[in-house]
Structure 1
Amino acid sequence: MKVDVRFVTLGFGHLGDRDLHPSIWPSPPPDLNSLLEERESTQIPKNGSAPLLVSVQVLVSNVFNVDILRYTVSYMLILRLSWLDARLAWNASTSPRHVVTLPMDSLWTPGLSIREALWTEWKDQSPQAVVAQDGHVEINLSLTTEANCDFELLHFPRDQSHCNLSFFVFSNTVRELEFQAHARNEIVSIKREYVVSDVKTRALPQQLVPCFQLTLSLKNTALKSIIALIVPGEALLLADVCGGLLPLQAFERGTYKVTLLLSYLVFHSSLVQGLPSSSSCNPLLTHYFTVLLLLLFVSTAETVLLAGLLARGNLRAQPCPSPAPAGPPRERGNPGPGPEGAPGGGKGSGRSWAEAADRIFFFAYVASALCSQLIFAAIWIWATCESDPPPGMAVPHGGQPSF
């Protein structure tokens, strides 16, 4: 996985006891002392023996391009970071301004990176920071990112998944920096397939660097998938059941069954390509449509088999043409014994047993179709699936990633 890691390294010149009004700040000469002072000012602000507390508010403004085949989601986020830097405070008697706006490259800010991100694009390459009189700093960062998401697709298209975005600062340690994160869902449009039902933040335990995790709960509205997947499958099954009402000796019945089977094979191939696959917890619809395919195959095979046996029995029952010896003419209405010694020959018995077997199979097929629907509904309601552990946790020396 290629991760586009972007750091924003920010610094602010050492001010000492000089007046902090931005209009009268002098530009120090580029000597060694100024370079050392600049290096010192770009370090994280001190908070005594406690780590610096950075408050982060994550505003989720948009979630788009949910790709279940690639297990990726694209987000648009706004980060509001604030902390206290006592080095930036100034005396109110010397400057009447309560806040000043400074470029981010002139003061320290935490460099954030997202662990699950495939790429990250910051909307504003030169954002501004607002500094209050007491040294309180606040910045707003807008970004778009595409990240991996472990979708729980067992109940697709009525699935609910939890996607994580883990923010890390690799330039500091947990003794220097601590996050206090909050999240808010600001998505106002619901005209999409997946909607955000909940947003939460939490601190990741046992990490060597400061971090926090944003969790978004995505819910599938599913109406499009139900119409495109489930309704055609049910319609084909009902059409196959109705096809069993056609007479067995009718030529149209075999053609009808074979056409349905070929149509479902085309539908099943497109369905398999449209559903995701994973190492565990594949969608239940994959197994459901496979069962429907087997039912259609058994129904078509039964029709072809019984129709073939019935046609072969009729051919055997027909008498072979032979020249008849001249004799007295038979009376009209008395055709005489058939080839089997009985009127009408043996076609009636062969047809009767084939039709009886077809009738029994029809009722058994209807019962099987109904039972499969009920069993699938029960599995859909009560089935759960626990995904396999990732390879990093399954091997003897694996475990939760830590930095």
Structure 2
Amino acid sequence: MLLGILKCPAYTMAKTLFLLSSLTTGFAYAESNCTSRRCLAQMLIGKTYLSQPQDENCTQPIYVPFIEYQTLSVDTKDLRLISRLKATIRWTDPELKWDTSVYQYNEVVLPVDKIWTPEIHVTNSILTTMKHGSHDLLVYSNGTLLHNVIINAEINCEINLFNYPFAADECPVAIQTWSTGGCGSNLVLNELKTVDSTHGDWETGRVTLEKKRNDRNYIMVELKIKYSNPFITLLLPSILIILSDVVSFALPLRGGERNSFKVTLVLSFTLFLNILSNQLPGDSQCSPIIRTHFCICLVLLVLSMLVSILLTRVAEDGYLIFCCHSRGSDPKNTGCTEEKGDEEVKTDIGQPNAPEENSQMLRKVVRFLEGLDTKAMKNEQHEKFANKLDKIFFWFYFIFATAYFSAMTAVMVTYTCTVNHFDFWY
């Protein structure tokens, strides 16, 4: 009879319901028995939600309430801006919220590698690395997550170097998250702060958050070069060398001291350019005018050296090149006549035998002395003519050099060259 009762379908159904009720009560008791934060965190980790939260419109807003910007360095040679961004990000994941009536905690700490976290990158960078500020993040009971990230970016920035070393320009740092085909995430930026505005020869001025459209956010960084160091190492030596060349006109044309000094200046300036070739800025859309400045300075030095050499020849012989002679003189015949007269005078001095010969000797001596006076007069005329040309060239050189340096300084300081910094978006 007992076996019949056990085999009854009604009894089997009642037993099954009892067992299910016991299991449900046990699970509920176990779940309500989870009273620590760590237990709650382990329960949230167990959900293993590693994909992006997705609502009806397939996008997830990422709020950035605070960004700390820092310019690490500016590579003037390769036109690179190395920046560091430290951002606080906040987003909402509905799957990670809990009931505070069951779990009486408003926040809990979770490891970043166990849940989905947004990725922020710099659009116009050559290299971007994003690191988590810590291995953990904060989760609130309503599903809001708070985290810190650090972004290091090497940005290709076409800085306007036309006015170098008085250059100043702006460089955008375009930041965004992944989004394609209407799905993904979008940034909502709020507050920006700048730290450590001085770095090397450059300093960071005003930094602002800008937006071209909803999915194109960028940080506009104002950069300005500290011109003291480039001015001392690049511009000042060229000014001093040209000034020394102008003052060298005080040296006499004869003797060769001036020509040797000018040759030394040309060689020194050439060596100066070779040494500082690595420190000159690189080429961009607006090529640095300082390259043209050095070229003009070298041309001025070489021109001054050549003119000095030619004027030295004029002061010595009265003509510029070998095929041209001075007026009314034949250097070859004059030299031969003087040598012949000198030999005759020496020969006649040794033979004072007759009065006629004495008178003839005196006439030759007079002619010889007159020839020397004539030669001295011609040399003096040549030297006066060369000095006159030298003075004319000096004033021309001085006026041109002064006007050139004034105009070049005005152009370096005032002229503005426009660079399109947003061509990477087109």
TM-score tier, shorter chain, comes to 0.7 to 0.9
* Aligned with 1:119 (options 107, 121, 127): 127
Number of the residue aligned with 2:344? 324
Which amino acid counterpart does residue 227 of structure 1 have in structure 2?
A: I
CA distance in 2, matches of 1:119, 1:187: 22
Structure 1 residues 216-225 or 363-372, which shifts more? 216-225
* Aligned with 1:187 (options 184, 195, 205): 195
Give the CA deviation at 1:180: 1.2
User: Are 2:217 and 1:212 equivalent residues in the alignment?
Assistant: yes
Number of the residue aligned with 2:53? 44
Which amino acid counterpart does residue 241 of structure 2 have in structure 1?
A: L
Number of the residue aligned with 2:62? 54
Which amino acid counterpart does residue 224 of structure 2 have in structure 1?
A: K
Give the CA deviation at 1:357: 0.5
Which amino acid counterpart does residue 321 of structure 1 have in structure 2?
A: E
Q: Answer yes or no: is the 8 Å Cα contact 1:339–1:345 preserved in 2.
A: no
Within 5 A, what are the aligned runs for 1:252-331?
252-278=257-283, 280-313=285-318, 316=331, 320-322=338-340, 323-324=343-344, 326=348, 327-328=357-358, 330=362
CA distance in 2, matches of 1:227, 1:343: 51
User: Are 2:409 and 1:377 equivalent residues in the alignment?
Assistant: yes
User: Are 2:164 and 1:132 equivalent residues in the alignment?
Assistant: no
Number of the residue aligned with 1:145? 153
Question: Which has a greater percent of helix?
Answer: 2
* Aligned with 2:395 (options 348, 353, 363): 363
CA distance in 2, matches of 1:334, 1:26: 126
* Aligned with 2:99 (options 71, 75, 91): 91
Number of the residue aligned with 2:14? none
CA distance in 1, matches of 2:152, 2:420: 30
CA distance in 2, matches of 1:165, 1:58: 16
* Deviations, residues 58-104 of structure 1 (Å, cap 9, x unaligned): 63454224211111122222121112333322222222222111112
Give the CA deviation at 1:310: 2.6
Number of the residue aligned with 1:354? 386
* Aligned with 1:246 (options 241, 247, 251): 251
Q: Answer yes or no: is the 8 Å Cα contact 1:183–1:199 preserved in 2.
A: no
Larger Rg: 2
3-state SS in 2 of match to 1:216: strand
3-state SS in 2 of match to 1:261: helix
Number of the residue aligned with 1:231? 236
Number of the residue aligned with 1:386? 418
3-state SS in 1 of match to 2:405: helix
Within 5 A, what are the aligned runs for 1:325-340?
326=348, 327-328=357-358, 330=362, 338-339=370-371
CA distance in 2, matches of 1:197, 1:177: 31
CA distance in 2, matches of 1:239, 1:26: 80
Give the CA deviation at 1:192: 3.0
User: Are 2:209 and 1:201 equivalent residues in the alignment?
Assistant: yes
CA distance in 1, matches of 2:308, 2:41: 93
Query: What is the RMSD of the two structures over their aligned residues, measured on CA atoms?
Result: 3.4
Give the CA deviation at 1:279: 5.1
- Percentage of pairs with the same residue: 21
Q: Answer yes or no: is the 8 Å Cα contact 1:272–1:286 preserved in 2.
A: no
* Aligned with 1:23 (options 28, 34, 39): 39
CA distance in 1, matches of 2:53, 2:188: 17
CA distance in 1, matches of 2:241, 2:162: 23
Give the CA deviation at 1:120: 3.4
CA distance in 1, matches of 2:309, 2:198: 50
* Deviations, residues 118-172 of structure 1 (Å, cap 9, x unaligned): 3334444863221122222111012333222211111112212323332333355
Measured at CA, do residues 227 and 370 of structure 1 come closer, stay the same or move farther in structure 2, by a change above 3 Å?
same
Structure 1 residue ranges without an equivalent (≥5): 1-17, 29-33, 394-398
CA distance in 1, matches of 2:182, 2:166: 40
Which amino acid counterpart does residue 385 of structure 1 have in structure 2?
A: C
* Deviations, residues 159-205 of structure 1 (Å, cap 9, x unaligned): 12323332333355556533112453342363632222122223343
Which amino acid counterpart does residue 120 of structure 1 have in structure 2?
A: T
Which amino acid counterpart does residue 214 of structure 1 have in structure 2?
A: I
* Aligned with 1:222 (options 223, 227, 230): 227
Question: How many residue pairs are counted as aligned between the two chains?
Answer: 365
CA distance in 2, matches of 1:26, 1:368: 82
Which amino acid counterpart does residue 357 of structure 1 have in structure 2?
A: L
Q: Answer yes or no: is the 8 Å Cα contact 1:52–1:178 preserved in 2.
A: yes
Give the CA deviation at 1:27: 6.6
Q: Answer yes or no: is the 8 Å Cα contact 2:315–2:379 preserved in 1.
A: no
CA distance in 2, matches of 1:343, 1:249: 17
Structure 1 residues 236-245 or 167-176, which shifts more? 167-176
Structure 1 residues 189-198 or 166-175, which shifts more? 166-175
Structure 1 residues 265-274 or 293-302, which shifts more? 265-274
Q: Answer yes or no: is the 8 Å Cα contact 1:127–1:141 preserved in 2.
A: no
3-state SS in 2 of match to 1:338: helix
Measured at CA, do residues 44 and 173 of structure 1 come closer, stay the same or move farther in structure 2, by a change above 3 Å?
farther
Which amino acid counterpart does residue 324 of structure 1 have in structure 2?
A: E
TM-score, normalising length: structure 1: 0.78
Give the CA deviation at 1:43: 3.0
Measured at CA, do residues 216 and 191 of structure 1 come closer, stay the same or move farther in structure 2, by a change above 3 Å?
closer
* Deviations, residues 5-64 of structure 1 (Å, cap 9, x unaligned): xxxxxxxxxxxxx88965157779xxxxx9xx856x623242x55953321256345422
User: Are 2:185 and 1:177 equivalent residues in the alignment?
Assistant: yes
Which amino acid counterpart does residue 402 of structure 2 have in structure 1?
A: L
TM-score, normalising length: structure 2: 0.74
